[in-house]
Structure formats: structure tokens, C-alpha cells
Structure 1
Amino acid sequence: FPDHYLHHFTFEENILEAESGCSIIALAVAAKEKALCNLEFASGIPGTVGGCIFMNAGAYKMEMCDIVEEVQVLRDGELVWLNKLDMGFSYRHSILKEHPDWIVTKVRFRLGYGDKDEIAEVMASRRERRLATQPLDKPCAGSTFKNPKEVPAWEAIEKVGMRGVRIGGAQVSEKHANFLINAGDATSHDVKALIQVIQTKVKEEYDIDLVTEVEQFTWKKEEMTLSTPTK
């Protein structure tokens, strides 16, 4: 791959072709400069194109699948293009989760035409909203759980009294209950234990299975032991 980073992108009218290592925030800014819209929703997502496609990232009632035309993947040693239907997109899901050996290399997005100043205003207002409602000043991995159909994840977590609860250095954010922050020297065990406590309480209280949105690598339930949460 060129210079090993896969961070190049080009525009051809309203088609944005970006390599998988590109920052999705940088692409949203670049699209704004060309008065191209529909990427505003991603202007606050701290991830790469490849990661966003993998999980069909979204915000403000839009997702990657709303603007994706094609995805190029390295599959069985060959570069192939997959269309939107091939990608099997759904809420925070794509076919890539079923094929961890496939590697996203490039994506084509179809954007809309808009007004540069209006796009900038939308991006600025959403940034202000994120700063006001999410603990972006603290170390965290973003939203911890997917929103179940019954109720937003943060609301279920708050209703079972978990807002502000801490295990070791991991804490449920006071600002947004679906964010787990590192309140000081948190270990992976602290985070895993806190996730399990939240899932257990929400299941017992509302019979809702909270599914993690963050990707968990080499986490085995049999290795997890519950720690005592504190306020």
C-alpha cells in the first residue's frame, strides 16, 4: 500500500473516494470546504474510514450506509469492490464483522451539494452539543452500548442507578451515562467489570440485553469476575 498509511482521498464532483486510514473528521471538513453535505453527522466521530465502515458508525439519525456507494476490500488476496447491498449494513453492523479477514482499503461516498456556510454552521452547532453532553475532556472510547429498541442505553443505565458509579479507575460518566471514562489508572479489568455490572442490572430490572458498541478483543466472560461498584 502507498506509504503504508492509506490516508489519501480525492473528490470528483460529489463523489468522495477515500482510503481506509483517512480520518472521518478530516473528510467532513474537506467536504465542507467543497460545499458538499451529508458528512456533517460524522464531523465529531474520532475514527477512520475503515473503522466507521466496519461498524456502520452514525450519529444524528444518519449512518455510513446512507452515503456509501462502494467499498473496496482485500479479500483472499484480491482487491474487490462491494456495493452497499453487499456490505450487509444494519445498526452498528456490516458484513465485515462476519469476515474479520477482509480488509477495507478504500471507500466511495456519494455526497450532496450544499452551502458551505450552512454546512459549517451545522458542524459547529453539533460540536458544541457534543462538548456539552459528552465527556470529551476525559479518556473514553465513546458510546459503550448500542441503543436497544426499548429505550436509549443511557436512560436504562441511569434508571438502574449507575450514573457516576465507579469500579477501580473506570467510571460511568456523570455527563452521559453511556460513556465509561478513565477516572484515574483504570485497567481493562475495571472497564470489563463495570460493563458486566451495568448489563446485569439492566437485565434484572428491565429484561433488556445491553450489547456493547465498543469492540472487545480477547475478552472472555469466564475470565471476568465482578468487582464491587462504588459511588
Structure 2
Amino acid sequence: MKIDILSIFPEMFTGVLQSSILKKAADKGAVEYRVTDFREFASDKHKKVDDYPFGGGAGMVLKAQPIFDAVESLQGPTTAKKPRVILMCPQGERYTQQKAEELAKEDHLIFICGHYEGYDERIREHIVTDELSIGDYVLTGGELASMVIVDSVVRLLPDVLGKVESHEQDSFSTGLLEHPHYTRPADFRGMKVPDVLLSGNHAHIEKWRSKEMLKRTWERRPDLFDAYTLTKEQEEWLDEIKKEDKGY
């Protein structure tokens, strides 16, 4: 996968892309990063990328020309598959694990990280394929949000985490929150690991984990059940969980 990031603060990405799983993924050849300062594409001698909005108002607006030229320079031959061009924006679609899995299937992603009051609307209308938001709040710019998305996508690429199972049971990947985890020692300050996890009976362990996923989701994010289809067995387990929650 190729990941291009357009930002007027490219130095913000150095530590993130050169650390941990993101660095390992690049070292393995699973992904190639490129961060470009789109000021380089400004047409005036002062390298100005923003201007006052037509009609007046507070703040500055990113100009269309530098963004258009920067994206076009990264898209490659007209015969090639077009990359996904992602605009980081608080007005965008709420980012989810399902969106991460969708983007992980692409060959080329281009992220546009804005600053100031907003973007010239022609950027949205003519070159962007996706507008994404990581939450209902406003950041100084799109850089931090794009880092979050890059991290969540890259970890899903083949061989990046080593085992497919490493992310298949992640919270939200299954539609439910992940079950609890424990490691050695089995008894820490009197706090003991559940006996089932020490039993060696994998069928019982998997059943326990499945129930715990339901329980944790019910306790913390019951709204997730609105988009999740329960099996008959899961319905029975969830009924038991609800009764336990009510104390009978």
C-alpha cells in the first residue's frame, strides 16, 4: 500500500511513522509512506495556501489550487487505478473499524490534512472520495486524525501483525467489544485468573470468551447490539447476562 499525506506541518509525522508497528510495516515492505508539504504547490511567490472567504466571516480558507495540484501530482498515470482521496474533516463520516477494514483493501490512500477555518468547497466536490471524522469535536488540524486512521489501517495489512487472529478479535472487528485478557502470574496479590482459562479445555475457553464479549458489550456499549445479529445461543447468553445484571 502507498500512503500519501498532504500537510503544511510534515514534521508532525516523523515520530509516528518511524515508530512501533507503523515503522515495522514499512520495513517489511507492506506500506510506503510519503508526507508532502502542499505549500510546495502554491503558485505565488509567498507560497500562500489560504485566503479570506468570499462573503466575509472569521478565519481563513484553504485554497483549491495547491490542493488540486498536489493531489494530481500523486495520482499517477490516468490509466492507473485512482487512489482514495480522504479529506480529514469534522463534518465527515464518523470513522469506524469497518471503514478501516474497507480502506485496508486499497492500494493507494491520499490524506488531506487541513488547517484554518475550512476548505474551498471545490476540493470536496471534485477531488475527494471520502470525508472522515474521528469524533464529534474539532482539532487544530487534520494531522492527528490522519495519524489515527493510518495506524488503524496499516495494522490490518497482511503480515503486519504476524497473525490474522491478532486483529480479528479486536473490539469492533466482530461487532462486539473484546473479551478480557490475563497473563502470568495466575494469582497476583490474591486476584486470580478465571479457572476456565487455566483448564486447557479450548471449547470451554472459547465459550467463556464469547460470553464475556457479550457481557462487556452489554455493560459498556449496548448500542452496538442495534447493528449486531445475535445467534440463538447468544440470545440465551445475553438473557442470562441481563438477569444477572438485575440480580435475579
How high is the TM-score relative to the length of structure 1?
Answer: 0.27
Higher helix fraction (1 or 2): 2
- Structure scoring higher RCO (CA < 8 A, sep ≥ 6) equals 2
Higher strand fraction (1 or 2): 1
Larger Rg: 2
